Amino acid sequence: MRRGPLRETAFALLFAGRAISALGDRLVPVALAFAVLELTRGSVTDLGIVFTAQTVPLVVFVLLGGVWADRLPRQFVMLASDGVRAVAQGLTAALLLAGVAHVWEIAALQAVYGTAEAFFGPASTAVVPQTVDESSLQQANALLGLSGNVAAVLGPALAGVLVATAGPGWGLAVDAATFVASAACLAFMRLAPVALAAHSTTLAQLRRGWRAFRSRTWLWVTVAYFTLFLAFVYGPLYVLGPQVARLSLGGTAAWAAISTALGIGSLLGGLLGMRWHPRHPLRAAFLGFGVAGPALLALIAAHAPLELILAAALVDGASGTVFNTFWFTALQREVPAAELSRVSSWDYVGSLALYPVGLALSGPVAGAIGVSTTLYGAAVLFALLLCAVLAVPAVRNFAPRPGPSPGGRGGIR
């Protein structure tokens, strides 16, 4: 705990808060799904409505969240978000445990949750440079990613135990408690002040954030890549992959094994991200995607032996965490502190813009041309997107800017 970024008290508190709330977040998909299915006697339509109610406000309000995180102290924005999410999940849990919940009430509370989440993300990304030296930024981002990956492995298992033994309401109650614990950690952070955005209209600040985003070719090209990747590569994999596993790979246990391999790979990627400092980090990260990403889709499409799929999933999971480590470090080093939240909010909204469309289209497309054909098509698109993004010199030749970070260092021991 006294080595690397964790020697800084401010970062250690940020790390603890995010690790705790990340574990709670991983309980929600399982607990909420079983809560709605039990409440509605198996209505997947109602479940889709609840998940949509949670996701849409995140996309709609994330730009506003970026503006406010550049206008107000980021620590305050994060605390407010944790508080609102704790109340939303606490009320959801109370309704379920009391046996008086209705679907519309759960959907409304999850919309509140998604709105608060939209304000937390940009602030959380931008606050990291205030907690560590620039030389420790990459390690700090790797550690934050590592905590999320540990939660991704442990959270669903814990959720399964809670739902099976105590009921889904208790899973959501634990999630609410994690936000209280996260807020307690964040409240004790001591950060040096950062020059905030000048007060002007929200629209004017949005325009300035857009100009800062658009002026960096490496930034907007990468976000455009993920707009297409998440919608038409990641979406089909997570809609159709479970179906292939159920019918051809041995059942739900096979998909659980694939998900676990991705999680373990992510843990290994987090360790690699703390140590690896390539001269051209985005080039290295995208090439890492190419090692196993398209192969994973193709192997699932071909109903290949599970052992081969697990090996590809392990490498693919590692490459994703390495990319996130390099990406957030690049943002925090290259974008001035006063506009970092707004720029990162454009990253969020750009990456997620078409994701619901991809999820919605995956099933109908597979019904028209076949599941395997759809996954093969996603694998080909994955490879083409990688070639296209690496063909852009600003991405391929991106190198970290030398000198002190524009965000500076604000951590206080």
- Rounded Cα distance between 147 and 279, Å, is 26
- Rounded Cα distance between 8 and 133, Å, is 9
- CA 363, 366, 368, 370 dihedral sign is negative
- 143-188 confidence digits (pLDDT tens): 888 888 788 778 777 877 787 788 888 989 999 999 999 999 999 9
CA distances from 325 to 125, 129, 176 (A): 12, 14, 28
Predicted pLDDT at 129: 83
Residue 342 has pLDDT above 60, yes or no: yes
The Cβ-side half-sphere exposure at 136, using a 13 Å CA radius, reads 21
Residue 200 has pLDDT above 80, yes or no: no
Phi, psi dihedrals of residue 110, rounded to the nearest 5°: -70, -30
Confidence band of 409 (pLDDT split at 50, 70, 90): very low
* For range 355-361, the mean pLDDT: 78
Q: What is the DSSP letter of 401?
A: P
Predicted pLDDT at 272: 85
Phi, psi dihedrals of residue 225, rounded to the nearest 5°: -55, -45
The distance of Cα 352 from the centroid of its chain, to the nearest Å, equals 10
The overall average pLDDT reported for the chain is 83
When mean pLDDT is compared over 165-174, 334-343, 346-355, the highest value belongs to 165-174
Residue spans of the domains in the chain: they are: 4-396
Six token digits for residue 210: 């857009």
Contact 273, 321 (CB under 8 A): yes
Q: DSSP readout, 125-150?
A: HHHGGGTS-GGGHHHHHHHHHHHHHH
- 36-94 confidence digits (pLDDT tens): 878 877 665 676 678 778 878 888 888 888 888 888 888 899 999 999 999 999 999 99
- 282-296 confidence digits (pLDDT tens): 999 999 888 888 999
Question: What CATH number has the domain spanning 4-396?
Answer: 1.20.1250.20
Phi, psi dihedrals of residue 189, rounded to the nearest 5°: -70, 140
Nearest to 337 by CA among 190, 147, 122: 122
Percent of the chain scored above 90 by pLDDT? Answer: 27
Predicted pLDDT at 3: 63
Contact 281, 335 (CB under 8 A): no
Predicted pLDDT at 407: 44
Reported for 356-361, long-range contacts at CB under 8 A and 24+ positions apart, including other chains, are 356/52, 356/55, 356/56, 356/59, 357/231, 358/230, 358/231, 358/232, 358/234, 358/235, 358/236, 359/231, 359/235, 359/238, 359/239, 361/235
- Rounded Cα distance between 159 and 174, Å, is 10
Predicted pLDDT at 40: 78
Predicted pLDDT at 141: 82
Residue 197 has pLDDT above 70, yes or no: no
Contact 341, 66 (CB under 8 A): yes
Residue 408 has pLDDT above 60, yes or no: no
